[in-house]
């Protein structure tokens, strides 16, 4: 690493120059996209000049001086242009992509790991999630370090979130805070851009009065960056204390409005409220309107020296919250205005701003135009930024080889949930790379989703050792709850949002910390909805993990409506980056888990969702051939093959398959050739079907006429065969099958919220029983 030492005064000067440049480039990037690029559809392009401005100082200080290669950062979504401007100055972002900000292939609206090319550490966009991501990534960093899973060369980094103040309205931030506290999270910096404004207006004063206390309550250090150097100097003068008290007591909305009004506004307000103090009168006399405005808006979060002092004052790993007082739109014409969130400078305003920045026409993208320091000096400073000392930031880790088959239980009767527990237990018993790389996590449903055996063998993860007190006191329990740094299960409290962000962080470990992990998270299927945005966020970042959701559907029977999941199969189909499976039998599950653990690691792979059941089914006595295994992975197989040209087939998936088998036995008496198709993944079948159709439409020359798996499956049936589909979930997940070859479908499934009851009652009531299937066949024909 080439580190030239630079005198503090000189560094401060250069950083202030770069701060101006970053502010300019972020505003110009947005302006260019909105005003200078041809607009073909009449839609607003947008961008947030004011949100960028409030963070310009903090981000300049961090990226150009404070951050180290091992640190990882989540940037508040609306400061994306600031991030791209910084990367542009570093030479990691192109002018072309800045010119195409928010256009296809250009710099993204919100920092994106997968779409941007300039080394985004964590995607952001849905507020609150990126914040929590840093916390859970810090846990992953410790997990990897304490077990020596990386290459051992990486220093411990700080996980940094640049947080909008209104992001703290999102409950998931506090869910994460509590979880982090339980796990003794370290090396975490959250910098709150306290500009006192959100999207619609000014944020409530009452809330922020409590924020520092909330952080302190969970063991964080809170550093408030309130007043800048100018104001602090004036506070130290006679009657200066009166001014401090006045600003301290100033409601957010009044302060913001005065920021917008400027010098004359401040003078009027201060004269009205503080004119009795001679010291204040002197201050007012000594400052003209412009200087008074500069003074009154000199908040520490926009004061480079104050920001550097705050960051550089922290030298331990205590999680730290910096509350940085800033001004939304600082340095821009609409600073402080409550409506400035999506406000864009007009052409005239931009012309004035540009002039003030000293930028000539045509020099808008010039890296150093309008700055007073010599370009060579600025470039030299950029070249030696510690942030880049280790090169590009994305790490790699070798793929963990998955054996050809996983240890499979041989129970005559079993549920897929039980099978899942046993398969994992079998892996846990092995001493293998696979067993070392798996990490499980669950939001307080570890035992009830059958992870218990795995945890008994592999232990709970924690920074420190903690014995199982019940075991020590010889209280009998099936569950060994011992915590060590070697443990491979991260036990979470009941917050599904945390589960998915924890999985997001674990599933990026190979790219962020250079250590491959194979994360498996379990939860009850209906509660996927509770963490859905976080799941989407995880997939958007191309994180790789397996979710095992059980119990599912109405089949959990007596537990009733609140725990029944109906539309989760549609979520599985609709969520990009996630392939979903619903196996019926344990041997299918073993094949799918094996496939999933491998698929999670493939460049073109993704995450995996297994929807399991607690219903114990008689297991078929069979040894799956390689071909059958391929079919199971592709999405389905003929359990009872139809005769060529058959006019009817039953299509079943998951827990209701025994009813389909029973119905089939009756149907073949009338329709000798009827078949029974068992699906494992309508998601895979549908995706491959569409992809094959698209490729046919597109290919010139060599046309790929090979059928997709679902076309192959349905091929033996007659052209106008009838399909009766049945599953414990929304029937829409299977009803599309009719479009494949134009065969009519009668779909059975669940559309309504449940009742509690036993399986016979519920299947009868929801028309999932054999009688309903037989009836549907009769209707279809």
Ligand X SMILES: Cc1ncc(C[n+]2csc(CCOP(=O)(O)OP(=O)(O)O)c2C)c(N)n1
- Give the alpha-carbon dihedral of 70, 76, 79, 82, to 10 degrees: -10
CB of 422 to ligand X, least distance (A): 39
Stretch that binds Mg ion, among 157-165, 176-184, 570-578, 723-731 (CB under 5 A): 157-165
Of 111, 53, 95, 19, the closest CA to residue 344 belongs to 53
The one of ligand X, Mg ion, none whose footprint includes residue 126, by CB under 5 to 8 A per kind, is ligand X
The one of Mg ion, ligand X, none whose footprint includes residue 51, by CB under 5 to 8 A per kind, is ligand X
Of 613, 631, 633, the closest CA to residue 677 belongs to 631
C-beta closer to ligand X: residue 201 or 386: 201
d(C-alpha 626, C-alpha 444), whole Å: 37
Binding mask 120-149 for ligand X (x = CB under 6 A): ------xx----------------------
Which contiguous run of DSSP H or E holds residue 188? strand 188-194
C-beta closer to ligand X: residue 121 or 193: 193
The yes or no reply on residue 65 touching ligand X (CB under 6 A) is: no
d(C-alpha 9, C-alpha 63), whole Å: 18
Kindly report the CA angle at 53 between 187 and 47, in degrees rounded to 5? 100
State which of positions 522-561 bind ligand X (CB under 6 A).
none
Asked if 585 contacts 618 with a C-beta cutoff of 8 angstroms, the reply is no
C-beta closer to ligand X: residue 124 or 725: 124
The yes or no reply on residue 165 touching ligand X (CB under 6 A) is: yes
d(C-alpha 136, C-alpha 660), whole Å: 44
Contacts of 539 (CB under 8 A, 6+ apart): 575, 576, 577, 578, 606, 607
Q: Dig out the tokens for 232 from the structure.
A: 């602090």
Q: Crossing angle, helix 129-146 and helix 532-540, to 10 degrees?
A: 70
d(C-alpha 70, C-alpha 155), whole Å: 6
The yes or no reply on residue 167 touching Mg ion (CB under 5 A) is: no
C-beta closer to Mg ion: residue 164 or 409: 164
C-beta closer to ligand X: residue 199 or 351: 199
**3-class SS of residue 486:** coil
Among 29, 137, 197, 417, binds ligand X (CB under 6 A): 197
Stretch that binds ligand X, among 70-78, 86-94, 520-528, 746-754 (CB under 6 A): 70-78
The yes or no reply on residue 172 touching ligand X (CB under 6 A) is: no
Stretch that binds ligand X, among 10-18, 162-170, 284-292, 455-463 (CB under 6 A): 162-170
CB of 166 to Mg ion, least distance (A): 5
The yes or no reply on residue 54 touching ligand X (CB under 6 A) is: yes
CB atoms within 10 A of CB 604: 5
Among 172, 198, 330, 442, binds ligand X (CB under 6 A): 198
CB atoms within 10 A of CB 361: 7
C-beta closer to Mg ion: residue 193 or 683: 193
The yes or no reply on residue 509 touching Mg ion (CB under 5 A) is: no
The one of Mg ion, ligand X, none whose footprint includes residue 54, by CB under 5 to 8 A per kind, is ligand X
Stretch that binds ligand X, among 158-166, 183-191, 550-558, 575-583 (CB under 6 A): 158-166
State which of positions 637-666 bind ligand X (CB under 6 A).
none
State which of positions 384-413 bind ligand X (CB under 6 A).
none
CB of 637 to Mg ion, least distance (A): 54
Stretch that binds Mg ion, among 188-196, 306-314, 456-464, 719-727 (CB under 5 A): 188-196
C-beta closer to Mg ion: residue 78 or 563: 78
C-beta closer to Mg ion: residue 326 or 440: 326
Q: Dig out the tokens for 621 from the structure.
A: 């006595």
β-strand partners of 460: 483, 489
User: Which DSSP letter does residue 156 get?
Assistant: P
The one of ligand X, Mg ion, none whose footprint includes residue 175, by CB under 5 to 8 A per kind, is none
Asked if 244 contacts 270 with a C-beta cutoff of 8 angstroms, the reply is no
Helices (H) and strands (E) in the chain, counts: 33, 20
C-beta closer to Mg ion: residue 64 or 325: 325
CB atoms within 10 A of CB 514: 18
CB of 149 to Mg ion, least distance (A): 38
For 641-709, the DSSP string reads: PPPTTEEEEEEEEGGGHHHHHHHHHHHHHHSTT-EEEEES-HHHHHHHHHHHHHHHHH--SS---PPPH
Asked if 121 contacts 107 with a C-beta cutoff of 8 angstroms, the reply is no
Stretch that binds ligand X, among 163-171, 389-397, 404-412, 610-618 (CB under 6 A): 163-171
The yes or no reply on residue 165 touching Mg ion (CB under 5 A) is: yes
Stretch that binds ligand X, among 73-81, 243-251, 268-276, 377-385 (CB under 6 A): 73-81
The yes or no reply on residue 342 touching ligand X (CB under 6 A) is: no
The yes or no reply on residue 57 touching ligand X (CB under 6 A) is: no
Of 604, 611, 714, 725, the closest CA to residue 663 belongs to 725
Contacts of 233 (CB under 8 A, 6+ apart): none
Stretch that binds ligand X, among 114-122, 191-199, 389-397, 424-432 (CB under 6 A): 191-199
State which of positions 310-339 bind ligand X (CB under 6 A).
328
Of 264, 267, 263, the closest CA to residue 280 belongs to 267
CB atoms within 10 A of CB 33: 24
Among 106, 150, 164, 531, binds Mg ion (CB under 5 A): 164
Q: Is the dihedral of CA 628, 634, 637, 643 positive or negative?
A: negative
Burial code (b: 16+ CB inside 10 Å, e: under 16) for 264-282 equals ebbbebbeeebeebebbee
State which of positions 702-741 bind ligand X (CB under 6 A).
none
Measured from each CB, the residue nearest to ligand X is 164
Task: Report how far Cα 437 is from the mean position of its chain's Cα atoms.
Answer: 22
Asked if 168 contacts 196 with a C-beta cutoff of 8 angstroms, the reply is no
The yes or no reply on residue 75 touching ligand X (CB under 6 A) is: no
The yes or no reply on residue 683 touching Mg ion (CB under 5 A) is: no
The yes or no reply on residue 166 touching ligand X (CB under 6 A) is: yes
The one of ligand X, Mg ion, none whose footprint includes residue 167, by CB under 5 to 8 A per kind, is ligand X
Among 69, 130, 164, 443, binds ligand X (CB under 6 A): 164
Binding mask 108-147 for Mg ion (x = CB under 5 A): ----------------------------------------
Q: How far is CA 18 from CA 49, 325, 386, 387, in A?
A: 17, 20, 16, 15
The yes or no reply on residue 197 touching Mg ion (CB under 5 A) is: yes
Site size toward ligand X, by CB under 6 A = 19
Stretch that binds Mg ion, among 192-200, 486-494, 568-576, 649-657 (CB under 5 A): 192-200
CB of 194 to ligand X, least distance (A): 9
CB of 461 to ligand X, least distance (A): 30
Residue whose pair of structure tokens reads 């589960």 in the numeric block: 499
For 510-548, the DSSP string reads: HHHTS---EEEEEE-GGGGGGGHHHHHHHHHTT---EEE
The one of Mg ion, ligand X, none whose footprint includes residue 666, by CB under 5 to 8 A per kind, is none
CB of 79 to ligand X, least distance (A): 7
Among 65, 187, 195, 580, binds ligand X (CB under 6 A): 195
Binding mask 524-553 for Mg ion (x = CB under 5 A): ------------------------------
d(C-alpha 551, C-alpha 526), whole Å: 8
CB atoms within 10 A of CB 688: 18
Interface with Mg ion (CB under 5 A): 164-166, 195, 197
Site residues (CB under 6 A) for ligand X?
48, 51, 54, 76-78, 126-127, 164-167, 193, 195, 197-199, 328, 341
């Amino acid at each position: 690493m080439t580190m030239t030492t630079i005198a503090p005064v000189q560094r401060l000067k250069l950083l202030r120059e770069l701060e101006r440049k970053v502010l300019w480039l972020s505003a110009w990037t947005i302006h260019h996209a909105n005003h200078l690029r041809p607009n073909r559809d009449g839609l607003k392009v947008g961008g947030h000049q004011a949100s960028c401005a409030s963070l310009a100082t903090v981000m300049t200080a961090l990226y150009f001086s404070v951050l180290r290669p091992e640190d990882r950062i989540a940037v508040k979504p609306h400061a994306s242009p600031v991030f791209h401007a910084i990367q542009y100055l570093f030479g990691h972002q192109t002018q072309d992509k800045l010119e195409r900000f928010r256009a296809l292939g250009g710099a993204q609206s919100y920092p994106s790991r997968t779409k941007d090319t300039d080394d985004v550490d964590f995607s952001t966009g849905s507020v609150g999630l990126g914040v929590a991501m840093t916390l859970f990534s810090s846990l992953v960093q410790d997990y990897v370090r304490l077990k020596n899973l990386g290459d051992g060369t990486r220093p411990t980094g700080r996980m940094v979130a640049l947080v909008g103040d209104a992001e703290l309205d999102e409950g998931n931030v506090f869910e994460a805070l509590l979880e982090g506290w339980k796990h003794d999270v370290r090396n975490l910096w959250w910098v709150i851009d306290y500009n006192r404004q959100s999207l619609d207006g000014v944020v409530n004063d009452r809330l922020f009065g409590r924020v520092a206390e909330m952080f302190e309550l969970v063991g964080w250090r809170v550093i408030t960056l309130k007043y800048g150097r100018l104001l602090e100097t004036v506070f130290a003068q006679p009657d200066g204390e009166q001014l401090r008290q006045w600003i301290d007591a100033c409601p957010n909305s009044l302060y913001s409005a005065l920021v917008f009004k400027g010098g004359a506004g401040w003078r009027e307000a201060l004269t009205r409220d503080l004119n009795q103090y001679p010291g204040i009168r002197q201050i007012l006399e000594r400052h003209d309107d412009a200087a008074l405005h500069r003074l009154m808006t000199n908040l520490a979060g926009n004061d480079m020296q104050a920001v550097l002092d705050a960051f550089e004052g922290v030298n331990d790993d205590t999680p730290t919250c910096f509350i940085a007082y800033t001004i939304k739109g600082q340095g821009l014409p609409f600073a402080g205005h409550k409506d400035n969130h999506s406000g864009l400078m007009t052409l005239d305003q931009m012309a004035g701003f540009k002039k003030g920045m000293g930028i000539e026409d045509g020099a808008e993208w010039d890296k150093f135009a309008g700055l007073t320091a010599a370009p060579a000096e600025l470039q030299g400073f950029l070249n030696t930024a510690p942030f880049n000392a280790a090169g590009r930031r994305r790490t790699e880790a070798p793929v963990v080889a998955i054996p050809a088959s996983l240890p499979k239980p041989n129970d005559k009767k079993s549920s897929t949930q039980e099978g899942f527990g046993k398969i994992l237990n079998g892996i846990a018993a092995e001493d293998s790379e696979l067993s070392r790389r798996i990490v499980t996590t669950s939001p307080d449903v570890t035992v009830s989703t059958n992870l218990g055996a795995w945890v008994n063998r592999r232990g709970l993860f924690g920074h420190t050792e903690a014995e199982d007190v019940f075991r020590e006191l010889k209280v009998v329990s099936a569950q060994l709850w011992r915590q060590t740094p070697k443990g491979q299960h991260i036990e979470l409290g009941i917050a599904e949002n945390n589960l998915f962000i924890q999985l997001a962080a674990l599933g990026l470990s190979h790219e962020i910390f250079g250590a491959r992990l194979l994360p498996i998270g379990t939860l009850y299927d209906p509660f996927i909805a509770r963490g859905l945005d976080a799941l989407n966020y995880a997939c958007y970042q191309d994180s790789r993990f397996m979710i095992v959701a059980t119990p599912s559907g109405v089949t959990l029977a007596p537990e009733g409506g609140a725990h029944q999941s109906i539309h989760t199969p549609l979520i599985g189909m609709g969520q990009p980056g996630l392939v979903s499976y619903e196996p019926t039998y344990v041997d299918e599950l073993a094949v799918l888990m094996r496939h999933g653990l491998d698929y999670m690691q493939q460049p073109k792979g993704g995450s995996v969702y297994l929807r399991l059941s607690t219903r114990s089914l008689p297991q078929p006595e069979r040894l799956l051939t390689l071909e059958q295994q391929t079919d199971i992975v592709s999405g389905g197989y003929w359990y009872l093959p139809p005769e060529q040209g058959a006019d009817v087939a039953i299509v079943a998936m998951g827990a209701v398959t025994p009813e389909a088998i029973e119905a089939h036995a009756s149907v073949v008496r009338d329709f000798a050739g009827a078949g029974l198709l068992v699906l494992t993944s309508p998601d895979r079948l549908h995706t491959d079907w569409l992809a094959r159709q698209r490729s046919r439409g597109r290919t010139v020359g060599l046309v790929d006429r090979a059928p997709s798996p679902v076309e192959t499956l349905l091929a033996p049936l007659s052209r106008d065969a009838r399909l009766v589909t049945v599953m414990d979930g929304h029937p829409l997940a299977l009803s599309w099958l009719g479009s494949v070859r134009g065969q009519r479908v009668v779909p059975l499934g669940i559309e309504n919220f449940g009742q509690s009851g036993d399986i016979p009652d519920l299947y009868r009531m929801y028309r999932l029983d054999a009688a309903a299937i037989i009836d549907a066949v009769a209707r279809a024909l």
